[in-house]
Amino acid sequence: MTMLDSQLMLDSQPFVPEDRKNASVVSSAPFSQSTFPQTPSAPPAESSPAEFLNPTSVTVPSDSFPSDELFPPEPFKSQEEPSADAAQTELFETNPPPWELAVEDDVLLASIVFSKSPHGPYDYRIPDSLREDLKPGMRVGVPLGHRKKSTLGWCVAVKEGSAAHRKLRDVAELLDDTPLCDAALVRLVMWMGHYYQVPAGQVFDTLIPSSVRAGAGTRQTTYFTPAKDLTDEQISKLPAKQQAVVRLLISSGKPTTAAELAVAVGCTEDPIRRLRKKEILIPEVRREMHSNIRILAQHNDGERKQKLELTEQQQAALERINTAVDSGRGRTLLLHGVTGSGKTEVYIKAIEHVVSQAGSAIVMVPEISLTPQTRGRFESRFDSVAVLHSQMSPSERHYHWQRIRRGEVQVVIGPRSAVFAPLPNLGLIVLDEEHDTSFKQDSQPRYHARKVAHARAMALGIPLLLGSATPSMEAWHASQCGHAELISMPNRVANRPMPDVQLVDLRIRDERGGSGAISRPLHAAVLETIRDKGQAILLLNRRGFATTIQCPSCGHVVACPDCDMPLTHHRDGGKAMCHYCDYTIGTPPWCPACRFDGIRYGGLGTQKLEMEAKAKFPNARIARMDSDTMKRPGSHQRVLSEFRNGDIDMLLGTQMIAKGLDFPNVLLVGVINADSALHFPDFRAAERTFQLVTQVAGRTGRGDRGGRVIVQTFTPEHPAIQAASRHDYHKFVEEEMVNRRKFNYPPLGSVARIIIRGPLEDKTEAVADGILARLESARDLLGSEVRILGPAPPPIGRLRGKYRFHLLLQATEAAVVGETIRRALADFKTDPKDEIEFLVDIDPVNLL
DNA sequence: AGCACGCCGACT
DNA sequence: GTCGGCGTGCTC
């Protein structure tokens, strides 16, 4: 019911502009592109504190994604005319108060934001003692309200204060010696906070890893140096041990710890304590890494792997990228290279070019392709690579972060969070598999690494290189509008052909063959492959033994009491669990509704497929790869290396086997059910299906022995499946763009989503309705053409025991959507006892 | 988010 | 009178 509802909501209601009486949508938006000077050059690496947030010094992307929102001048000031509040203040306060008249006007102020409420920004006076040291990007301790302890905040700006009439409190202390992010990153934080509608303080917490904030793997160590004005006479009067300590320290000239001194002199630490009391030894506290962590540094001096010869096509791509790097301008490049066209080698060569000019680069890859193979490829070609993976311990992470910040790293490879890597001389950002949905974070701040990378690259005046065999509609559209430069690599390396794709129509009983998931043609193909000593991959876009537990007698489906989602039956231990909230019960032996005892496990999961495959191909060595079997760290890697070594004949799995694997002996890829992603209430369902089928098909035909693909489907005539079967990306985008245009869905327009959740259904819905009303009045006030959908229950209507509703907004301009929400929710509050939360998702990638 | 203030009723 | 419950409002 919920599925149907939101499908209707998304697919019906063509977007009809209400009226055109207020056509000046863009100019009424406060942060439209036209507001800013077009400055193509990069901002100075170190801009002075006073001007670092100044809009005139902000570099504006000269080529940006469509409907882009730019760095706002002052994101936190209300853009309204001087508010009624301000007028009231003037009326009722003696202004300025007489006792503050004496204070000079030109005080230095720090603008501070907080990661917890209240988020600020608030202005604090900078006492003279901190004047020299306080820089934007540092953490400070400040008094706040009536709190007893000082509160941690982030300094986002240092500025000259003119408002002497306001009561201002002092910054109490600095919590960092050097800023944790440079001026450019502070600006990125401010932009993200504005664009994604998240307090800047929370963005800092995302930008700076918690391990860095906590100083993981570091220790406070006290070093001693001798006092400056020590005379020989003074020293000779000291007791013997103390004398020895001081003389040693003077002769070595190095600050030394108490423990080291004690060992060197052969005494206890007591003489040192006494010297400290007498102020003959001056202590100096430093924070440093544990020595054992330094060992983690991986330097590659040894074997530098063979540099591959580039094909003509690769060479041409590389030259265009190098030209962009050398131009010193911010621009976006879309490298559209079919699977197996050798994109990685192009990235490496382009980065070698950047590194040769003392620059550095970020390479972002989907979480799942951060495999040892990917790592190895980069590590063998560069002196200093930092690989940021999820298995890293906090102290390792901190260690690498410091290395990166010190400029000791040439290439950073990581998932979406790598976009924040604090490289001091960044020259290129690469986003591999640009279309992958893992680049969108699904918790606050819900940023998209592509968007953030774009903002960062444009602000620095460096190229952003997007690579994919199946570019997202967004990237493709950008290339068609001149916002991105398209580089095509239509051929595979060594002129290998694209694999043949055969569609199997599952509606035909004869094709389907029996009750299993493996059709007759697929069965035959597998047998042939095994006979030829080749390897096969079977993709099933689901996990679990069976998707649903359905009673054949009454039709009852066993569902989760908290989420309303069908439970998935898992064979190990006869469990049934909810994939959304982890609710688990023993599999019921009979139907809970009608007590019929022949309950059926419908649907299909990888476990069941594994059983079927083992029964049908008893001589094949089969391994399963899904998020259930890959829970333990390293298991992923182990199965893949077994597959590479030829110890496994057939690999079964979910999405994760579709991406980036490069095994030359894979002669067959089978897609068990290509429709599984197609019937989702999401306007990107067709795009997902096309990408999935194309990507998995690309896993074969990578060796000299060719390869073939068999795609099983109930709807072989669907354009996405047709296009995928012919490797025809252009045909797909052409047709899909028509669909998007019908309703102005991205990339033609911009979408945002507001999710409202709470424990009581009616209260939650009432809040959703209240938000709708506010959105409508904000829209009318702005005179903007924003289409507002909902509130409706999302496809997952209930999650973790909470009821959910969502609202969708769309318009041609991202800035308009953002501003409508910002105004509607600016002072919106709910009754705390209803426990209702609402969250904003800008540019959502899934609508669950 | 804290923390204080202020307004209540219930207790020493 | 004074203690403590919680509703309300502010924090540069």
Cα dist from A213 to A135, A153, A469, A522, whole Å: 17, 12, 38, 53
Nearest residue to nucleotide B2 when comparing alpha carbons to its C1'? A147
Q: Which 115-134 positions of A have CB less than 7 A from strand C?
A: 117-118, 122-125
pLDDT > 70? residue A172 = yes
Cα dist from A847 to A6, A102, A358, A435, whole Å: 9, 58, 43, 17
Distance A149 CA to C4 C1' (A): 24
Residue pair A107/A125 in contact (Cβ under 8 Å)? The answer is: yes
Q: What is the spatial distance between Cα A772 and Cα A723, in angstroms, rounded to a whole number?
A: 39
The pTM score is 0.82
- In sequence order, what are the residues at sequence separation of 6 or more whose Cβ sits closer than 8 angstroms to the Cβ of residue A52? A136, A157, A183, A186, A187
Q: Is the dihedral of CA A839, A843, A845, A848 positive or negative?
A: positive
Residue that the structure tokens 């070698």 belong to: A352
Residue A310 has what pLDDT?
94
Residue A143 has what pLDDT?
94
CA atoms within 13 A on the CB side of A340: 27
Residue A6 has what pLDDT?
35
User: Cβ of A141 < 7 Å from strand C?
Assistant: no
Q: Which 227-256 positions of A have CB less than 7 A from strand C?
A: none
- State the fold for domain A500-543+605-743: Rossmann fold (3.40.50)
Confidence grade of residue A27 (pLDDT, cut at 50, 70, 90): very low
Residue A216 has what pLDDT?
83
Residue A823 has what pLDDT?
93
Q: Is the dihedral of CA A32, A38, A43, A48 positive or negative?
A: negative
Average pLDDT over residues A94-110: 56
pLDDT > 80? residue A817 = yes
Confidence grade of residue A25 (pLDDT, cut at 50, 70, 90): very low
Residue A16 has what pLDDT?
30
**Most confident stretch, A117-121, A453-457, A652-656:** A453-457
Window from A62-76, A164-178, A275-289 with minimum mean pLDDT? A62-76
Residue A602 has what pLDDT?
64
A163: the nucleotide nearest its CA (via C1') is C12
Mark the nucleotides of strand B covered by protein, meaning any atom under 7 Å from a CB: 1-4
Residue A547 has what pLDDT?
62
Region of A114 (left: φ > 0; alpha: ψ -120 to 50; beta: rest) is beta
Q: What's the pLDDT tens digit per position in A569-607? A: 777 667 888 777 778 888 888 888 888 887 777 667 788
Q: What's the pLDDT tens digit per position in A744-792? A: 899 999 999 999 999 888 889 999 999 999 999 999 999 989 999 989 8
Window from A274-288, A337-351, A354-368 with minimum mean pLDDT? A274-288
Distance A148 CA to B1 C1' (A): 13
Domain boundaries, chain A: 27-178, 218-289, 500-543+605-743, 750-842
pLDDT > 60? residue A391 = yes
Window from A21-25, A375-379, A737-741 with minimum mean pLDDT? A21-25
A144: the nucleotide nearest its CA (via C1') is C11
Residue pair A169/A124 in contact (Cβ under 8 Å)? The answer is: yes
Per-residue b or e along A614-632, where b marks 16 or more CB atoms closer than 10 Å to that residue's CB = eeebeebebbbbbebbbee
Q: What is the spatial distance between Cα A559 and Cα A566, in angstroms, rounded to a whole number?
A: 4
pLDDT > 70? residue A59 = no
Residue A306 has what pLDDT?
62
Distance A147 CA to C4 C1' (A): 21
pLDDT > 80? residue A663 = yes
Residue A756 has what pLDDT?
93
Nearest residue to nucleotide B4 when comparing alpha carbons to its C1'? A146
Residue A545 has what pLDDT?
53
Q: What's the pLDDT tens digit per position in A32-41? A: 333 223 333 3
One-letter-per-residue 3-state SS of A138-199: CEEEECCCCCCCCEEEEEEEEEEECCCCCCCCECCEECCCCCCCCHHHHHHHHHHHHHCCCC
A563 known ligand binder: yes
Average pLDDT over residues A463-485: 97
Confidence grade of residue A11 (pLDDT, cut at 50, 70, 90): very low
Residue A47 has what pLDDT?
30
Q: What's the pLDDT tens digit per position in A697-753? A: 888 888 888 889 999 998 899 999 999 999 999 999 999 999 999 888 999 999 999
**What is chain A's mean pLDDT, rounded?**
82
The share of chain A scoring above pLDDT 70, in percent, equals 83
Distance A624 CA to B7 C1' (A): 67
Residue A597 has what pLDDT?
83
- State the fold for domain A750-842: Alpha-Beta Plaits (3.30.70)
The share of chain A scoring above pLDDT 90, in percent, equals 51
Q: What's the pLDDT tens digit per position in A292-342? A: 655 555 555 445 556 778 999 999 999 999 999 999 999 999 999 998 899
